[in-house]
Structures are given as C-alpha cells and as structure tokens.
Amino acid sequence: METSNKGKIRLGVNIDHVATVRNARGSNYPSPVIAAKMAEAAGADGITAHLREDRRHIGDTDITELKSALIKPLNLEMAATDEMLAKALEVSPNAVCLVPERREEVTTEGGLDVVSSYQYYREYVKPIPENGIRLSLFIEADESQISASKAIGADIVEFHVGKYCDLIEQNEISLANVEFERYRNMSRLAEEMGLEVHFGHGITYKSAGSLSKIDQVKEMNIGHFLIGEAIYHGLDAVITKMKKLINK
C-alpha cells in the first residue's frame, strides 16, 4: 500500500537549544516553554524535546511545563533507561521517541540498534503503548532495524537522515543521492509494514526540500537549524518558511 502525502508533512520543532542558551547563564531566560508556544502559534505541528540523562539542555520541569502548556502534540525524546520510562509514564506525552544516548556525544550520532538489543527493547517498550503513548524509534534506514522496530510494537520509525544532510551541505551530490535512494526504499518498506515514517537530524532548508519528495514521510523533526536561523530571522519567519518548503 502506498499513500502519497504530498502537502501533508508535519513539522516537529525541537526546542532543546533554547534551553542550551538559557543554561549558558543558569537562569530562566530564554524559556523553552515560551519558545514552544511561539512555535505552535507560527504553525509547528508538534514540539519535540530531548530529556538527556545529563540534563545538558532540557530539564525535568521543562517537560512537565511543556506538557501542560502545549496544545499541539509533545514528542519526548529519551534514552531507553528506567529513569526515563518512569518520567514518560508520569508526564504522558503524545509520543516517546527512543534514541541512543552517549554522555560524551555532542548530539545523537546514530540510530538505535534494535536488532542487537531486541529482547531488551521488546520488554522495555511494553508500558509505552499500554499507557496510550505512541512509540517512535530513532533508527538508521535499514531493513533489519525496521523489521525489528515493527516486531517490538513501534508505531513510528524516525530515520536518522544526518548523513544525507551533511553530504548536501558539503555539496557531495552523488554520495547524497545514494543515501536518498536508501531513505526512499526504506520509507516504502516501513510504510508497507504499517509504520509511520518520520525523518530527523541535521535537516536544513537545503535538505528539507528534497527529503520532502519522499512520499511516505509524514513528519520532520528539526531543531538546531531552526533555532539557529531564528536568531537571524525570528522563530515565526523560519517556521513559516520551513513549513512552506516541506509542503511545496
């Protein structure tokens, strides 16, 4: 089954780096919750926040406040630890996106290895859908990872598209095209399996337009670039521009 989604790609705005700026001064300013509300007003279809083990940007209070302040869905990114599971069940976001996390990394460097830790994830995720929370897994666009994600009960697979985005920024078009074809084929496969397809990581104006041509993608989650551009042009303007671009 193939369903075209032209004109219907949701934009998830990741507001982690508003908290990065706030934390640089250890104060309450700027507020990720105010930024998230502005993003909503500007047309964001959802808000994403990553509660990391080391709380380097988003903190526990941010998550609670986001949940009560937002009208649009909250997507909580987190590592598959007991602490985070308890937090997710307490806050009850619209979706949980499980990501691999290493304390020393600058950002999420790769996808979750669901295949290698299949038994662990299978048990771990059970309470998530049982509590009415959508389950998303941040994985590489790889057949075995997609199959394993389906088998443990994921609703969504978010493909790590960082490699493609980096290649596009470096103008390595033929290498980027290889990645693009992989995302396209794996998106078809995931949809055939009944999974919703999202893309995330490193997306900019340059990569968003081409990635949106993959018919199966239903949502793009974008953080660093949007918050960076917002410093130059304002959150409202960059969200409006990105939404137009992905739904051209």
Based on the shown chain and the rule CB under 6 A, indicate whether residue 87 belongs to the binding site for ligand PXP. Answer: no
Where in 124-143 is the site for ligand PXP (CB under 6 A)?
Answer: 138
CB of 11 to ligand PXP, least distance (A): 11
Residues near 57 by beta carbon (within 8 Å), at least 6 away in sequence: 16, 17, 19, 20, 23, 50
Q: Which of 50, 57, 160, 198 is catalytic?
A: 50
Give the span between the Cα atoms of 75 and 1, in whole angstroms: 27
* Token digits of residue 71: 């009208």
Residues near 114 by beta carbon (within 8 Å), at least 6 away in sequence: 121, 137, 139, 145, 148, 149, 152
Give the span between the Cα atoms of 30 and 46, in whole angstroms: 20
Based on the shown chain and the rule CB under 6 A, indicate whether residue 222 belongs to the binding site for ligand PXP. Answer: yes
Based on the shown chain and the rule CB under 6 A, indicate whether residue 99 belongs to the binding site for ligand PXP. Answer: yes
Query: Does the annotation count 77 as an active-site position?
Result: yes
Where in 14-53 is the site for ligand PXP (CB under 6 A)?
Answer: 14, 16, 50
Query: Does the annotation count 169 as an active-site position?
Result: no
Q: Which of 17, 40, 57, 77 is catalytic?
A: 77
Geometric angle at alpha carbon 49, from 228 and 233, rounded to 5°: 20
Catalytic residues: 50, 77, 201
Binding site for ligand PXP (CB under 6 A): 14, 16, 50, 77, 97, 99, 107-108, 138, 158, 200-203, 221-225
